[in-house]
Structure 1
Amino acid sequence: MKKYLLTLVALFSTTLFAATDAQIVEHFKSTVQVPNITIEIVSRKAVEGIDGMDFVTLSLSDGTRSQKLSIFTKDDLIFPDVISIKQGGSIKEMMEMAELQKKLSAIYKKEEKKNVISLGNDPKKETLVVFTDPECPYCRQELAQIEQRLTTNNLKLIFTPVHERSSLEKSVIIYNETSKVKTDADKIKILKKYYDENVKYEQKISDADVAHIDALKLKYFGAGIKGVPFIVKEKELLK
């Protein structure tokens, strides 16, 4: 299915008689040559500042795999993206991020304190929420500069591991050990210990504890996070 969807980029400029939901669906059904393809309009909203332009999200599924696709439509035209010189970038990225933040906000506001490791408590600094994985090489790079990051921001870490069971077990251990210390320095010491790719640990982690981290991961990835580290301003999640 993926290779068929990739061909859509070349066809986005195709004109339609009228860009109603039904006609957009029919257009893509005729374009994507996948047996038993199901295409539905997930959402449609006006683009602020551009009269007559809508941002449309579709869901495409062949029964076993699914993929979301976002497009813009105005009059009888479809566009893969719109670049705003005034706003300095892709309107698609901005709107997708706004939608993701809205979904994350509903979850984050209800998150249990035990699932959040807080570093820094300066009301003058902006707080960043970091979704992370102790076995992710990019997360390790981010952690390596954590002291520098704390000079400008407070941090809140939530573990959403994408690697094997060992990454979930390390997440359990980090939550357990950081809950027993009070200073940022001690928390960082624990984080660096278990983010080390050569770390060995003897703690036996139960299936129930691993399942808890897995559920935490699935909750946030289900909201739209696509990878780690993923960093978002907390104020955007508390709106």
Structure 2
Amino acid sequence: MKKVVLASIIAATSLIAASDKQIEDFYSEMVNGGIKVKVTDRHKIAGDIEAVVVNLSKDDNSQDEIVFTKGDYIFPDVIDLKEQKSFLSEMKKDVAAKGISKIYKEEDKSNIITLGSDSKKPTIIMFSDPECPYCRAELAKIETTLKDNNVELILTPVHDLSSLQKSALIYKEAKSAKSDSDKVKILRKYFAEDYNVDEKSVSKEASDKIDDLRKKYISAGVRSVPFIINKSDLK
């Protein structure tokens, strides 16, 4: 699916009014190949500024774009200088939470690696990839994270086949892990930068299963890793 370049919107904002139909028509002119465009949500965020969610879909693929509008103008983001926050970042979290919620509630427990079980602590859901350097950094401080949170880890690799294979092996070994420390050891083994997976040790079926898992959550809004969301935000 062709991704809309928001910079192009800025250059043409004076050409449209900000009704749903006109926004949909404007997007439709920017994409091609039978992509369906629909405004799925809009609400005021500050004064007369509205946040607008535009869904782009084709066949089984779907993605949401977020823009902001006031009068005849559209903006890619709104920054609150006083609060030091990006409304785009906040909206992305909200949209992702809605998409993830239904899928997560129906998720096979074997695809969730749990770390920590303290009912007094909040739980965060972490989407990760064994070949992502930023995911490795998160794993490096997992003991500190677990002091204040329980963690539920789902592997949604964004890298190539070897990452899918490593994820499959992690899930396989984690099933027999008896403690959090055992699970962390398994994770660190396969997340290690110098670990090379033996391709013969992972079947195509196992790799395809991880590929299906990641595609499912990418469609729900997990576009990069590590992606961390509070479990309490899933309604």
User: How many residues in Structure 1 have an aligned counterpart in Structure 2?
Assistant: 232
Letter in 2 for 1:187: K
TM-superposed CA distance for 1:144, in Å, is 1.1
- Say whether 1:117 aligns with 2:113: yes
Letter in 1 for 2:232: K
TM-superposed CA distance for 1:99, in Å, is 1.3
**What is the aligned counterpart of 1:211 among 202, 208, 212?**
208
Query: How many angstroms apart in 2 are the aligned matches of 1:96 and 1:128?
Result: 17
Q: 2:99 corresponds to which residue? A: 103
- Say whether 1:92 aligns with 2:93: no
1:101-180 equivalence runs, <5 A: 101-180=97-176
Quickly say closer, same or farther: Cα 1:207–1:61, change in 2 above 3 A: closer
Query: How many angstroms apart in 1 are the aligned matches of 2:178 and 2:18?
Result: 57
Query: How many angstroms apart in 2 are the aligned matches of 1:36 and 1:209?
Result: 33
Quickly say closer, same or farther: Cα 1:126–1:39, change in 2 above 3 A: same
Q: Percent identity?
A: 43
Query: How many angstroms apart in 2 are the aligned matches of 1:35 and 1:218?
Result: 22
Quickly say closer, same or farther: Cα 1:47–1:127, change in 2 above 3 A: same
Query: How many angstroms apart in 2 are the aligned matches of 1:20 and 1:197?
Result: 49
Given that residues 119 and 155 in structure 1 are in contact (C-alpha distance below 8 angstroms), is that contact kept between their aligned partners in structure 2?
yes
Q: 1:191 corresponds to which residue? A: 187
Query: How many angstroms apart in 1 are the aligned matches of 2:152 and 2:36?
Result: 38
Q: 1:228 corresponds to which residue? A: 225
Query: How many angstroms apart in 1 are the aligned matches of 2:74 and 2:62?
Result: 21
Q: Is the partner of 1:172 in helix, strand or coil?
A: helix
Q: 2:70 corresponds to which residue? A: 74
Q: TM-score, normalised by structure 2?
A: 0.83
Q: TM-score, normalised by structure 1?
A: 0.82
Per-residue CA distance 1:70-109 (angstroms, 9 max, x = gap):
2222333333333335654222322222111011011111
Given that residues 45 and 51 in structure 2 are in contact (C-alpha distance below 8 angstroms), is that contact kept between their aligned partners in structure 1?
no
Q: Is the partner of 2:135 in helix, strand or coil?
A: helix
Q: Could you list the runs of 5+ residues in structure 1 that have no partner in the other structure? A: none
Letter in 1 for 2:214: K
Query: How many angstroms apart in 2 are the aligned matches of 1:4 and 1:158?
Result: 30
**Higher gyration radius (CA):** 1
- Say whether 1:45 aligns with 2:42: yes
Given that residues 42 and 58 in structure 1 are in contact (C-alpha distance below 8 angstroms), is that contact kept between their aligned partners in structure 2?
yes
Q: Is the partner of 2:51 in helix, strand or coil?
A: strand
Q: 1:20 corresponds to which residue? A: 19
Quickly say closer, same or farther: Cα 1:153–1:68, change in 2 above 3 A: closer
Q: Is the partner of 2:202 in helix, strand or coil?
A: coil
Letter in 1 for 2:176: K
Q: Is the partner of 1:47 in helix, strand or coil?
A: strand
